[in-house]
Structure 1
Amino acid sequence: MEPITIDVTQNTPYGLQKLDSSISFRGFISFLESKIDQEETVKKTFFSLVLDKLRSKPGFSQDIPLSEVTNYKEELSLIYGMLMPPIANEKEVFWALSAPVSPVVFYGTSGFYSLLFEKSGDLRCDLIEDRGVNYKQKMQMLYSFILEKLYHFPPLHHPDMIITLKDEESGLQKYYRVHIDNRFCEVYAKGSLPELDLDILRSDLHENFDVNAFSSLLPHSLFHFEGFSVITLNDVTAEHAVENIKNTILDRASYDPKTYFNYVAGALKMLVENPRVDFGLMAVLRVNNKLVFDRSSILFSKLMSAATENDMAEQTYLDMATQYFESPKTLLLRNLGAEDVKKQDFIRILQNDGVESYALLPVYHDNKVVGVLEVYSKEQKSIDERLLAKLDIALPWIAQMMTNYIDEFNSQIDTVIRDKFTSLQPAVQWRFRETAWHYIRDKALNPQNAEIESIQFRNVYPLYGAIDIRNSTIERNAALREDLRLQFNVLIETFTVLKQKLGFGLADEMIFKCRKWITEISDESTDNDEMKIRDFLENEAHPFLQHFKEESLKLFGSGAMDPGELVLRNRIDQYFDMIDEDHGAAFANRRELEASMQAINSSVNLYLDLFRTEIQESYPCYFEKFRTDGIEYDIYIGQSIEPQKRFNELYLKNIRLWQLTTMAAIARITHSLIPQLEKPLETTQLIFINSGSIDISFRDDERRFDVEGAYNIRYQVIKKRIDKVHVKGTGERLTQPGKIALVYFNNKSAEEYVGYVRYLQEKNTLLDDLEFFDLEDLQGVTGLKALRVGVNLQSDWN
């Protein structure tokens, strides 16, 4: 303990040190006198001895100039002994005495002074920062003290004053809570006290403390302060680190995943007070109760990051996690170099990435493991039980973080299911939630008669579109014909070998049947009966060959095989290899066709998803896709879909223009795919224009929306029948590759779309070849008309 006087705010503009104050210990002496009168234990004797010692120097009971306070070293030491526990280690205690309500320190522990000074001897003047938030807090404390002492205002609760300090050894930030004890201070008014409205002051002190307003009402110059203050600094780095983690988790939406993880990892590093220790996180993600590897979250793990570089991440995680989570426990490896790499593949992966010490801590939420926390370092023996114990205080929040990860993952799964596999889309989800609530409410009131309401949307405007793969049935039949022709030719060759090697006469009949099938398959004027062909192959030809293959195995399984038998056996194996659906030559044409169709539909699907996202931004609408050989979609928009937002026909016109533009883009995209396709396929684009509104309702049996009412059903019938409609009197299909066909009844609707066509022609999106047609009558549908316009497939347009 040394009586060293320092002004820790000597360079700040506010100057709390300039208060009119004097150092006095009379208040402390009075405090001791009262304690002696109250005390009945042996402490009374000790207090009396200290009091006598303090009184022995007459000057100690008077006001002491700051320059002379160092003359009372023994007395100051006694005060320290009275205010702090006798067993306290002054190197670890940050304690000091200062001028009354002023940060001018004149006596303190060696720990306090070492905190104030750099190793170079320079003063850390920002230790008790006299600006910004801390300044406001200190001024609030000052005025609260004046009001309590002179106006008998009840004491107020003050927010903690926190200071930050960079640790010289670790380089990490440390946080200290400043506690200033003014029990031994007094304040005196130099003149008459100003009259104040205490109710207004109480509100201002609690809610919106204005330093300037209080300085005007109660300027410092009106008061004289006497006594001394006790300053104590408590290391709250651990609390602050946990608070940082908590605030980061609560404000998750403000951060991208990487920043979010880095903030939490930085707080953990602060908690263990070691800059050479790093952290990783792995949440336990399951689908249908099976562990899954999610690259977006798992790669915040050091082990998984290292494994990813070797393309081992997923398998490493699944192998290790499956075994670990059967019996989760803390794993501590102080020195990876001393471990048996052969037994633990993950140790080798970590070592290759420079890790020398590693620990794995299971993290629990509601008594269930939700993930693991990795602790690792590139230095040996940097991690031990003592360091891991420091993390205990943060584990509940790490558990919350991982639980949030799991909830986000499950929410993503639910969103995909909702968007891709069910009709429950965000635009109409409010109606389902409302219906669900009504059912719960009614069931509570009358459990026997509660029913689910019918979910309907009235007066919505429908938009229908279809992207069809041209001649898909013809292409599929041609692919099937080519594959079957090859299969039967090879089958004939196989039966021929069987007849030659075994002299089995029944093989001739099988050859005869195969040739008959080839004749039927080659006749393009007849439709191939695929079921009958499959029946012949599976119930006659294949069992025939399988029998001789099994017989050869029985006869020659344990010895050398006859050359003829070997040739036959190999021929049969080659045939069955050829008819493998995934790799065999007899399915090559069908695989190529399916791959080409899949490429087209995937591209169309992707673009329609973008289209759906864009149109939702202008006005919420219901968008549903259907898979045929191509893709069809329905869009419904109207006031009943979104009651909270006023509907205007401008939104309908906007979405119609968007639909036409999207169809043009899809025509161009699918055309550009042709050189990349194994089977060159083209698409046609069809739009049905419905001039009026319809009603739709949710069908529980099909889990989708459908039209209702006789008039509305007519709309559905037309949709289903126009895909192959012909131009009246010509026999020509309306839909053609590279063109958009628009079918309508009402001339007014056509006029609207003609305007959109002219606009897109001006933008070089569509060609200048707009055609008008009357269409042939369909079953139950007459009077249909159509527009058709070509898409500019070559020039650049956005």
Structure 2
Amino acid sequence: MDINDSIESPMMLKVGFNKILEHYEKLAESEDEFLSAKAKRVLKTAKPYPELRDGFSDTKILKDREKEISIILQDSFAPVLTRNEIKTASVPFHDLIFNSSERFKNIIKTAGDDFELNIKNMPDDHRYIIACTVILNFCYGYNLNFKRPFYYEIPDVNGVNRFYKITYNADFCEILPTEKAKKITEEDYKLLLDNFENLDIWKEKFPPNSYIFKGFVISNIFDVTEDQSISNIKSNLIGEDKRKDENFMHEFHDVFRSLLGINDLQVGFSIYNEEENVFERVYGVGINSYLLGDAERLECNSSLCKWSYNRLIKENKYFSISDVDGVYEKAKGGFAPQVEVLHKQGFKSAIFAPIANDDGLMGVMEIVSNTPRVLNSINANKLIDIMPFIVSAVERSKKDEENLIEAIIQKECTSIHSSVHWRFAKEAKNYIRDEMEGKDASFKKIAFDNVYPLYGQIDIKGSSEARNSATREDLGLQLKAAKRILRSALDIEAIPIYEQFIYQIDEFQKGLNENFQVDSEQQISSFFKEDIEPLLQHLNSIPELKLDIENYYTSIDDKVNVLYKHRKDYDETIAKINVEMAALLDKKQEEAQQMYPHYFERFKTDGVEHNMYIGESITKEESFNKIYLYNLRLWQLQVMCEMENAYYQMQSDFPVALDVASMVLVFNQPLSISFRMDEKQFDVDGTYNARYEIVKKRVDKAYIKGTTERVTQKGKISIVYSQKQDEIEYLSYIKFLQSKNYLDDDIEIVELQDLQAVTGLKAIRVSVLYHKHEDDKAFYTYDDLMKEIKA
């Protein structure tokens, strides 16, 4: 078989010994008789076989001339060192090895029959290019310094991977150009320097088989498992979000197995929470804690005995348990929780290493094995070299977690929208720069000029009346239950105070039915707390009343300490409406942002409100056109119709059936907004612009001029505006949405009563068309829909 079969290379490979035989020719003339005689013996061995000098590629010759080759290489593979040195003779960029030391042979034998020897970090697609760089060095004198450390990864007798570094001795090889070889010019060299990845260029300058490699290389191999394990640990710990990577802990276990030479080793972690003096589980894919076992968190005092507690937490020093079963037997009846938890999980030996910095303990690394005595206080010292990297990783992880917490707080608790984040980031960079340069750093005002506002709301109609009604029902039920107990008590024991309380309950019930006031709820609640509850505690000792009193307290909500049935249904309904409507609006907003970036914020009240601002200063690019404003206005109107539909489709799922009404406020002039640091939200700037905020806050309560009818109405969308051009614009949107069966054809234009400092407002009102469900092709008015729902 030819060694060049099935490989593509700029060099044709030939095994040859010309260079080493030339070396022996010089030694043959040495004055040292011993060296001279030995050299002559080698030369005499090689002389009958010219192919050993000329070079060959047929592997059969290697077998036939095995004895002669062994004699030629005897000095390079000294028999006295063969059981100690790890050494091979081979040709480059090929897995052919034709001579090796005994130790190398034993290592390969131990690895198993199915083991294939490969250089670990030699990419196949780079072999051709690396061969070209060797030619540049040998034939043209260009030293590209492409020297990378190459490794073998070979399992030992325990199946643990060991790492071997390879260094090459190329003293006995030569590279010769053939007629196919192209002369490499200085320009070619410069071109190649900038095109390492471009294989086509390298093949053009160095065609396949255009050079001949003749000779062999000696590989000196060294066991660097510990160094490589430490390097691998560093590599594993570098990078973001390792805790989400499924392979992270698997690779981490493998690295520690190589470092300590233990095949069944596992690594776990636990966090030390100093404030609460507890160990907590690290959350991540495949990360376990063998100190906590099944628990999520445990007090340190109940996880460790006194000695190990002081050792880990106070002294920040490791400790080992080499024979878990032995210590467990001795400690029976004693307090050694760390031994008990290991024994319960079936581990036989363990090392607990503190992850600590100058500020104290941050966590514990737990190394465990199912084999007794393989983990002990002696090999625990191997951790000294790797713990600084573990500590650095944990410090970085803690910092990342703090940053993540801050980011979540920013996201959930402030209103810095993604569309304006760039402006905050810019100011933050300026702040950092000033601080670094020793200047008086301050966070400058964030403002956006000439932006167009859009406002909309889907409001729950009659929410105050609904809550008052729920409150009356709850208080009425509670008064009725208390009255029943007092009547029974009066039958048992005729005491005037019971009659007085019954009279007071009758008065409260009368007030609830005839004239429910804002303070009625507070008065009745005080009556229950100060008068009825102390009385019920007294009456509870009467056997005949015990069951009624028990039933009474069963109806009382523990959290609010009152009967909270109808009010709970109301509160849950409001909460569910807000959650569902906000979720739908947020989802729709993602689509709108794709059309053109703009600022968006929403608020949950008795319903959901939203603000939007669009303009050049927000997008940062000179791309704004009023067409994007018109598009957003149409989008807003359409989404309000969709939210109305979505609400009534899910209304039956809510504890209380409430109605909603939608409104859009149109403001034709651009305005300025700025971020108020104290309130963590944007507000309009300037006196004129403040008019917009006044209208926003009051318009939904405005009446139609000359009537007591509110502008917002269930089943309709109200579009409030002040300019004739707004009216024309929105009537065109309505016409379009009517064609798509979003809106009915009952358009009405009304004038609004003057608000404080705001006059001349008008509104377009139009009915929404509804569908019973998403796939329903039919459409209904509000009244039709209610009839369908009730049918």
Question: Which category describes the TM-score, using the shorter chain as reference length?
Answer: 0.7 to 0.9
How far apart, in 2, do the equivalents of 1:156 and 1:490 lie? 95
Counterpart-to-counterpart distance in 1, 2:340 and 2:631: 60
Once the 2 structures are TM-superposed, how far is the Cα of residue 688 of structure 1 from its aligned partner? 1.3
Note closer, same or farther for the CA distance 1:354–1:479 as it changes in structure 2 (3 Å cut): farther
Q: Which amino acid aligns with 1:301?
A: I
One-letter code of the match for 2:18? I
1:667 shift after superposition: 2.1
Quick check: 1:711 aligned with 2:701? no
Q: Describe the shift of the 1:719–1:220 C-alpha distance in structure 2 as closer, same or farther (beyond 3 A).
A: same
- 1:230 partner letter: I
In structure 1, the residue corresponding to 2:690 is in which secondary structure? helix
Aligned 8 A contact 2:355 2:361 in 1: yes
- How far did 1:266 drift? 5.8
Q: Equivalent residue of 1:596, what SS?
A: helix
> Corresponding residue for 1:523?
514
Q: Does 1:651 align with 2:639?
A: no
Deviation at 1:732, TM superposition (A): 3.8
Task: Say whether residues 1:609 and 2:582 are aligned partners.
Answer: no
Q: Please give the residue correspondences for 1:376-395 in structure 2 after superposition, counting only pairs within 5 Å.
A: 380-381=371-372, 384-385=375-376
Q: Cα 1:316–1:648, aligned 2, differ >3 Å: closer, same or farther?
A: farther
**8 A contact 2:158–2:262 mirrored in 1:** yes
Aligned partners of 1:630 and 1:648: how far apart in 2? 32
Structure-2 separation of matches of 1:100 and 1:252: 38
Q: C-alpha separation between the residues in 2 aligned to 1:361 and 1:736? A: 69
Distance in structure 2 (CA, Å) of the matches to 1:387 and 1:793: 73
Distance 1:268 1:445, change over 3 A: closer
Q: Which residue of 2 aligns with 1:40?
A: none
CA shift for structure 1 position 703:
2.8
What is aligned with 2:167? 179
- 2:287 counterpart residue number: 301
1:229 aligns with 2:217: yes
Residue 535 (structure 2) aligned to one of 510, 531, 545: 545
**Is 1:472 equivalent to 2:452 in the alignment?**
no
Q: Aligned to 1:675, which of 652, 658, 662?
A: 652
- Partner Cα separation in structure 2 for residue 578 and residue 194 of structure 1: 97
Letter matched to residue 51 of structure 1? L
Partner of 2:56: none
Aligned equivalent of 1:461, options 420, 440, 452: 452
The TM-score with structure 2 as length reference comes to 0.76
Partner SS state of residue 661, structure 2: strand
Query: Partner of 2:451: helix, strand, or coil?
Result: strand
Contact 1:773/1:785 (CA < 8 Å) preserved in 2?
yes
Find the residue that maps to 2:565 and give its secondary structure: helix
Is the counterpart of residue 788 in structure 1 residue 785 in structure 2?
Answer: no
Shift of 1:477: 0.7
Shift of 1:271: 5.8
Distance 1:337 1:665 in 2: 68
Structure 1 position 671, deviation (Å): 2.1
SS of equivalent to 1:651 = helix
Distance change >3 Å, CA 737–CA 639, structure 1 → 2: same
- 2:574 aligned with 1:597: yes
Structure 1 residues 317 and 647, CA gap change in structure 2 (3 angstroms): farther
Counterpart for residue 18 of structure 2: 23
Hey, what's the Cα distance between the residues in 2 that align with 1:130 and 1:775? 78
Structure 2 Cα separation of the partners of residues 506 and 433 of structure 1? 70
Matched, 1:428 2:420: yes
> 1-side partners of 2:750 and 2:743: how far apart?
21
Q: Tell me, yes or no, if the aligned pair for 1:334 and 1:381 is still in contact at 8 Å.
A: yes
Which residue of the other structure, out of 734, 746, 749, is the alignment partner of 1:773?
A: 749
Instruction: Say if 1:501 and 1:568, in contact at 8 Å, map to a contact too.
Output: no
Q: CA deviation at 1:179?
A: 2.1
User: Within 5 Å, which residues of 2 pair with 1:405-420?
Assistant: 405-420=397-412
User: Aligned pair in 2 of structure 1 residues 335, 738: CA closer, same or farther (>3 Å)?
Assistant: farther
Map 1:81-480 → 2, pairs under 5 A: 81=78, 90-91=82-83, 93-98=85-90, 105-113=97-105, 132-148=125-141, 155-160=143-148, 162=150, 167=155, 176-185=164-173, 197=185, 201=189, 204=192, 208=196, 211-215=202-206, 219-220=210-211, 229-235=217-223, 252=240, 257-258=245-246, 276-279=264-267, 297-303=283-289, 314=296, 326=313, 361-364=353-356, 369-373=361-365, 375=367, 380-381=371-372, 384-385=375-376, 402-403=394-395, 405-436=397-428, 453-480=444-471
Which stretch of the first structure deviates more once superposed, 241-250 or 139-148? 241-250
Q: Tell me how far apart the structure 2 counterparts of residues 616 and 321 of structure 1 sit (CA, whole Å).
A: 52
Contact 1:363 1:398 survives alignment (8 Å): yes
Structure 1 contact 182–230 (Cα < 8 Å) conserved: yes
Deviations 1:292-325 (CA, angstroms, capped at 9, x unpaired): 9789x34532459997xxxx65456999889988
With 6-15 and 700-709 compared, the bigger mean Cα shift is at 6-15
Normalising by the residue count of structure 1, what TM-score does the alignment of the two structures yield? Answer: 0.76
- Measure, in 2, the Cα distance between the counterparts of 1:319 and 1:788: 69
Q: Report how far residue 797 of structure 1 moved.
A: 4.8
- CA 1:768–1:122: 2 relative to 1, 3 Å: closer
Return the letter of the residue paired with 2:13.
K
Q: In the superposition, relative to structure 1, how do residues 58 and 493 fare at CA in structure 2: closer, same or farther (>3 Å)?
A: closer
From 57, 76, 79, the equivalent of 2:41 is 57
Q: Which deviates further from its counterpart, 637-646 or 507-516?
A: 507-516
The CA distance in 2 between the partners of 1:787 and 1:319, in whole Å, is: 69
SS for the counterpart of 2:507 is: helix
Q: Distance in 1 between matches of 2:728 and 2:279?
A: 55
In structure 2, C-alpha distance between the alignment counterparts of 1:365 and 1:697, rounded to whole Å = 44
Name the SS for the 1:258 alignment partner: coil
Q: Within 1, Cα distance between the matches of 2:113 and 2:483? A: 100
Displacement, 1:474? 0.7
CA distance in 1, matches of 2:108, 2:493: 103
Aligned to 2:500: 509
Q: Equivalent pairs: percent with the same residue?
A: 22
| Deviation digits for residues 661-710 of structure 1 (CA, Å, limit 9, x no counterpart) | 33233223332333222222232222212222221122334332211223
The residue aligned with 1:12 is 7
Deviation (angstroms), 1:599: 1.5
Taking structure 1 as reference, are residues 726 and 260 closer, same or farther at Cα in structure 2, changes over 3 Å only? farther
Amino acid at match of 2:41: K
Aligned residues of 2:368 and 2:375 also touching (Cα < 8 A): no
Aligned partners of 1:141, 1:506: CA distance in 2, in Å?
109
Partner AA of 1:25 in structure 2: I
Q: What one-letter code is carried by the residue in structure 2 that aligns with 1:12? A: I
Q: Is the 8 A contact 1:160 1:177 kept in 2?
A: no
1:283–1:402: 8 Å Cα contact kept in structure 2?
no
CA contact (8 A) 1:22 1:100 kept: no
- CA-CA distance at 1:54 after TM superposition: 2.4
Deviations 1:99-124 (A, max 9, x none): 79998654320233456679998995
Letter in 1 for 2:147: P
- Range moving further from structure 2, 156-165 or 208-217: 208-217
Residue 734 of structure 1, CA deviation: 3.5
For residues 541-569 of structure 1, what are the alpha-carbon distances to aligned partners after superposition, in whole Å with 9 as ceiling and x for unaligned?
258538x74xx9xxxxxxxxxx9656678
Q: Deviations over 1:113-169 (max 9, x none)?
A: 456679998995866989532343244234413334xxxx5x542232636566486
SS in 2 for 1:722: helix
Q: Which of the numbers 709, 722, 729 marks the counterpart of 1:745?
A: 722
Range that drifts further, 95-104 or 647-656: 95-104
* C-alpha distance in structure 2 between counterparts of 1:317 and 1:661, whole Å: 56
Kindly tell me: are residues 164 and 320 of structure 1, through their superposed partners in 2, closer, same or farther at Cα, counting changes over 3 Å? Answer: farther
Q: CA separation of 1:700/1:135 partners in 2, compared to 1, >3 Å: closer, same or farther?
A: closer
Residue 451 of structure 2 contacts residue 614 of structure 2 at CA under 8 Å; is this kept in 1? Answer: yes
Partners in 1 of 2:554 and 2:93 — Cα distance? Answer: 93
Return the offset for 1:461: 1.3
Shift of 1:348: 8.9
SS of the equivalent of 1:688 reads strand
